[in-house]
Structure 1
């Protein structure tokens, strides 16, 4: 009955939303009237219907509701009814949307950049606010902005991983609301992050630069740069609004009441902890300075209050010198005795970590970072177009070395790690990856890593893996481009198979620099090895880890483990334990030596997977890789290839972005139900990979889902695809509740051939753009052909001359007439 009522409610909401559509259906006359009136309009000129356009129009409908609050009309115009000159006739404009302002075309957007409501809203606001929201590329540019803002405006500096995301939209919407109060600056990476000490951020971030009161007693330093505060929470519109309000709060609030009587923070600070310090009349001035110093450290994390003990209302025992109250818990105040101000920061961080662990134990995903996405629609054409647009930009290759057939062995021998990119200058994908490769080289400029490139159009013998100076090269012929190899002296090459973007490559290289395996000889070293952050440059990233437990280092299986560890470099951190320490860890986890403990990044360190040591290193690598796979993973662009390689059918649950607490609870309940499917199905589920996709964190999956079913279905959607037996795509009935018994029965009907497929996988293939061409070999062959032709001509000429001499010698014995005939011939 509940589901029937919910279905009726959804139908009513859907019909109501359709009746109150904010997407304007322009006629040519309406369009020109609004254009002459100077309205700001986002218009799509529709020619024909297709799945891609249908998905776009659905998102455009959503964006119309949002953009109307900013005075922007959003609509479409059908070119089939009455075409508009230029916009309906030019073929190259058929996949673009146009922004009009002040009676003329202001900007156009390719539909591939407007893939959901977040990208539409963010890109349109970014275009309109291009004069208000500054974009800086270097630290010098930021310094100039700070000098101009001193004493006038504070600066809100935002870093987003990718344009067109939810974070980008949140930043632009906030800039629209607060643009007159603050100076907003946007960055997407580069040297500015180095100044901020955040070169390897894994998520978007916001900083508040205190420039308006710079140099006053309310700021901690009187330097040339504005003091900055980092927003600790994820970049959402609500979090950013609360953060800006928090930046306007008093630095220190002095109270004369007992902390238990002080009211919890009001809106919009209700989610902010309170920290209480205590003051005495004799040290009031020093106590105020101490409170101000701590308040600057806690800026954005907590509100600082200074409690005066001389007040009769304050009855706190003398042994306590600080207290705190956490939000969303209770109004209870906890009293503590601290010996250093930094202990307050450690206390808040520890309490925050404990809260996260509790949420994880309740079933929340341990990895809530926003996944970087790639919109893979017509990849080759898009990359080629992007490369063409930047054809005049010269890449700075000074940070990378050039490997050739002449210097290859010497260059590899001189560095402990050489990362080589094999590429073609005329290949669009190669040149795009080269740009990311140079970015990573600049980040690693101060390290021992040598970043090098090989132009396979010039050094074809090297790319074909032919011996250099009679010495073999440590890799097989390069057959696809671009290819990245990690090279070490006297060792085989290690291929890089991850995403070809700067962040993923930088992370892989950084992890590859760690010893494989690391020799751990004490409990302290093991504890340090299992910490979340392995070293600077990987802040926020939690890598996989593995421990090998052996009786002694001389044990035969140790070399097997070491070989497997070297193969796993860059993906898994490996450690080696022997003797008493190994015995202790084996007893702790109830395993027999030798054994391997695997600590996946998604699991706590107290519950590793225990594996026996097989008879070969490749088998151990395969066993460790299998143990790292999540039993019900969240599919992303980055990890999808590894799961497809398993050859299992994908049972994918597509969920939307949580708009409120109810949506979050619904998604949590759906994930628990899918886990129940796996548990109840047991052995029958071995042929399926149960997984889920969050369309908010992986927007590219929207196009995938639409292509599976021909149109965008209502969410949540449960889809079965990539079956080993065929290309069929099955959808769980959209109007049925997703509960474990029903899902298992549906899978049985699919196996029995009772269910009809809802779609088919596309037959498009993505072969390598070109085969490897050995240009020098081709040139040599052509030269040999020319030489052979010349020799043939020489032989023919000699034969003719010999015949002439023979006939000349015999001409004395033939009539003159015959000689004349011969000369004519």
Structure 2
């Protein structure tokens, strides 16, 4: 049970860990999280096709603090869309286009690669919503049409008939929170629907809207319309314009208008229930089928976006329902029984649904649980990938699409990897892209069947498999309990999980000779490149409890590292060779060509998992956005070597020698390449106020006061000098240069 809880928590870490916001790192400082560059450095870092927002200002003049605070707040949401943000410090003698004139210094510039796309006066970017909205609006100019007249709208509507549905929005002004929410929706759905935007009240009045005080969003059903003289049906979104509400509304527009069912209403599930909307069943008899279907279609149009409508065929039901009931109402809340109703008027049915929506909304407002537009599309660093690849045609045929009819038969008859995703969600689409990339790499070589389930279409399958969040990857193998993937969204991490999951964990080793082959990497040489570590548990035949703890840990670590177990009568040969008392772990580090031994007396499964997880980390890693949270969880001060490029081999040799001699056991040694992780410049500026000469060694004590100590810049980084400095630190003879309170590298544990 404890390991199950750990697996659950590791999934939560995956959901949040892929965001650099995790554990309050790097971007918590108000201004220092905004990268500051010289003009030369800025233009040298521009990458072809990548969008960058830059604010140029005089380095020696007082900053516009309010604007910089808002720009800093926009760094994270814009990064979610693959857009970099930078503050460029101009020097007084600079005469370039962006630095030369005072009026140019009151603007913000949007580049794609080195090409200038747009310039914004700073007074139009009045807050974080305005910044995100304006930038996305500029980048999505093909997906979002801005119009001012009814004629413009009619022309677009006629052009879309028979081809594409339209999402039409009115917002009070460009840069409002509602405008940002619409732009975020266009980011996800802009290649599926034609987005149209206006700020003209008269245009809203002309299409019959009575209440024009607030922002509005309509869905125009133009794709089914083949007659150019026929007007597209329009559905008004009645909720407030927030990112979440718009996503949910569009999802209901994608669902079937009317579904026929012949099963127990209590067991029926659709996407509407997942979105918190009720289901309305119109009960039909064979004798009145045609009339009932017309009634159901009329109700479905009236309730579109508010409830799912189904036609229930009474004559085919195996369950009893009251003879006089003609409507069945099913709430979205789990465990609430369905209601059998007698409603002989369409308006009564509509009123029943709308009154329940009003009660639910009132309760939400009282609690204050309002989802605002600042939540963004996702809390992860995924949207850059989605934006870059959203028009790319994925070879979905390399994976098998599973349905309610084929799921169980497939996963029981073959070893399968299953991706559970929702096509409307940005994180899901990012992982789907990585998943397909993995399928391409494994084409014709893997015995594992790669499959996928779109939970938007097959919600019942996902519910049965305890999938309540998206996306999820699970491995089904040989009747064992499915194993969930809890790693990052990238192709390499997912490929590693799939390749290592092919191996039973732990592997049952049958002889001392086989154990030696296992430790050398020969036994699984085809996948050893995916695991930095091979773990072998050694036990005497009578150590039943200790073996059970290790097996439980091995099951949890499946897909992360290779684990094996040996408990033969001659196990003492191995324990003597590696000088360890049973029970024990042997950790084979293949890249370093060495084997460590760790006693396991009275060690529980969760502790074994922690030992192996920590041991699988690199000795002297390069810190990146993705791996920093992992190393922070070690709860040790960081010894960081900041470098403006690749690390000096001599410096690396010094650190590794001190690690080998166990002088750095109380620290986590690591290095940070400012070219690969530019935000490191902001971190150093937060510590030193100006960018110090590089390379530079610092110790950051996150978990005890947040103190920062710098290795003397006038000393060479040698074993002797570094060891002497660390001893002074330990003795309290060195003064810290700063204390981080909620700043870069701060961690709230």
Bin for the TM-score computed over the shorter chain: 0.3 to 0.5
| Larger Rg belongs to | 1
With CA pairs under 8 Å and 6+ residues apart, which has the higher RCO, 1 or 2? 2
